[in-house]
Structure 1
Amino acid sequence: MDITILGSGGCMTIPKPLCRCRVCTQARENRGPYQRTGPSVFINDEKILIDTPAEISYQLNRSGIEKINYLLFTHLDPDHIEGFRVVEQITLDFRTWRAYEGKCVKLVLPEELFVRLEKINSCYGPVIDFYHSSGFVDCISYSNSISLGSIKITAIPVDRGNQLAFIYVIEKNSQKMVYAPCDIKPFPENRKEVLDADLLVIQPGIFENGLKHDFKYPDDHISRTTLYTFEETLGLAKRIYANKVLFTHIEEYWNRSYDDYKKLEKQFDNVRFAYDGLQISI
């Protein structure tokens, strides 16, 4: 499998608009891997896009991607779906205000996400209804796993009641990637599908020290309900026997630059921090 990390950032881009902190200032000056846009990944083998942050149009143009066959969402938080309108930009023929023939993107989601997606409205009513009726997307739902060409996708829910996120196990032949960028607690480590991954792509979790404004997470902070600590995430990766770990969804408020993460990588044999445009083969 050939994978491109389109966006390695989290809720906030790096640099954060108007912010003059050390990390954001360095990102403006150095650009390249010091800058991070919203979380998304592209699986080149079958042209599968996972998540559409606000910056997705820029990400696709920057990476030179020419076609998208399938679109998946891990969950419906704004930093993962705010750029959903990209399907309109990709497919729209302005002469008819409908999609060009052959341009339709297949939106492939677990059944539970479609139910929730139908509640997101615009001035035209439910967004998904408008995009489907206009020919921008073709909706495909499934309950557990689905094959997209040579790729098998297994969706494993992380259910916290009103919030629902999915971890995707992505397999091709004997290759396996577990994609778990955000809101992964409690991680379903009892599921055999997540074991022995060639590559685990996961959010690093909370850094307890060195945060912006010298902030310290209280024991009852809301982030602790959705995220592990960095040390806990390393322990999780070990327990599920991940061969390699790639950290993504890297937050601006953790107050660490590209250089800081490169130094941290040297402490481990199988750990790497993603950056925008990173290409990996497994």
Structure 2
Amino acid sequence: MNLTILGSGGCAVIPKPLCGCNVCREARRKGPPYERTGPCAYISDSNLLIDTPAEVATRLNRGLIDAVDFLTFTHLDPDHVEGFRVVEQIALDFRTWEAYPDKQIQLVLPELLMERVRDIRSVYGPLVEFYEKQGFIKSISYKNSIKIKQILVSAIPVDRGNQTVYIYIFEKDGRKIVYAPCDIKPFPEEKKEVQDADLVVIQPGIFEDGLKHNFKYPDNHISRTTLYTFEETIALCKRIRAAKILFVHLEEYWNRSYADYFTMQSEYENIQFAWDGMRLRI
């Protein structure tokens, strides 16, 4: 399988607008790979786009992506869906205000997420319904798994009440990628689908030191309900026997630059920190 990390950043891009911290100033000065945009990825085997942050159109162009046939969301937080309008930018024929038939994108989601995605609205009503009517997308829901071209996609929910986050497992020719970029606690590590992966793409979790403004996470901080610590994430990946680990969703407020992460990864076996445009063959 061929995976491209289009955007490796988190809730805030790097450089964060108006921010004068060292990490953001360096990113403005040096550009990629010190810059990071919002979380999204692409699997070329199925022309599958995963998540649409606000910057997704720019990332598709810079990644030299020439086709998007399928789209999925891991969850519906704004940093993952704010750029949903990219389907219009891809498919719209301005002469008719409808879609080019050969550019229609199939929105493929687990059933529960398909129900909740209709809560994303504009002045036209639910965006999904508007995009369907215009012919930009065709919606396809499934319960547990679906075949998207050559790839078997399985969806495992993170059980956290009414906020639904999905971990995706992509399998092809005996190879497996587990994609879990954000809000993955409690991780369903007992599920065989997430075990023994060739690659786990995951958020590193909370760093306890070196943060901006010398911030320390209190024990009751809300982020601790959705994220493990970095050390806990490493231990989790060992328990599920991940052959390789790739960290994504790298937050600006963690106060670490591309060079910092590059140095960190040399201290561990089989881990890497992603950057925008990173390509992997699994």
TM-score of Structure 1 vs Structure 2, range by shorter chain: over 0.9
* Residue 95 of structure 1, CA deviation: 1.0
2:88 pairs with 1:82: no
Distance (whole Å) between structure 1 residues aligned to residue 83 and residue 43 of structure 2: 18
Q: Return the TM-score normalized by structure 1.
A: 0.99
1:1-282 alignment runs, 5 A limit:
1-282=1-282
SS, match of residue 128 in structure 1: helix
Q: Which amino acid aligns with 2:246?
A: L
For residues 118 and 79 of structure 1, what CA distance do their matches in structure 2 show? 17
The one-letter amino acid paired with 1:77 is D
User: CA offset at residue 159 of structure 1?
Assistant: 2.4
**Partner Cα separation in structure 2 for residue 190 and residue 2 of structure 1:** 27
RMSD: 0.5
Give the Cα separation in 2 of the matches to 1:113 and 1:86.
19
TM-score by length of 2: 0.99
Compare 247-256 and 113-122 and name the one that shifted more. Answer: 113-122
- C-alpha deviations, 1:14-57, integer Å up to 9, x for none? 00001010000000111111000000000011111000000000
Per the TM alignment, residue 102 of structure 1 is displaced from its structure 2 partner at its CA by 1.0
Structure 2 unaligned regions, length at least 5: none
1:184-224: CA deviations, max 9, x gaps? 00000000000000000000000000000000000000000
CA distance in 2, matches of 1:48, 1:21: 35
What secondary structure does 1:131 align onto? helix
| Aligned-partner SS, 1:160 | coil
In the TM superposition, residue 157 of structure 1 has moved relative to its aligned partner by 0.2
Instruction: Give the ranges of 4+ consecutive aligned residues of structure 1 lying more than 3 Å apart after TM superposition.
Output: none
Percent identity between the aligned chains? 63
C-alpha separation between the residues in 2 aligned to 1:269 and 1:125? 49
Matches of 1:29 and 1:48 in 2, distance apart? 33
Give the length in aligned residue pairs: 282
Gaps of at least 5 residues in structure 1 are none
**Cα deviation per residue 1:138-181 (whole Å; 9 max; x = unaligned)?**
00000000001110000000121121100000001101000000
**SS at structure 1 position matched to 2:235:** helix
Report the 3-state secondary structure (helix = DSSP H, G, I; strand = E; otherwise coil) of the residue aligned with 2:67. coil
Shift of 1:101: 1.7
1:118, distance to aligned residue in structure 2 (A) = 1.1
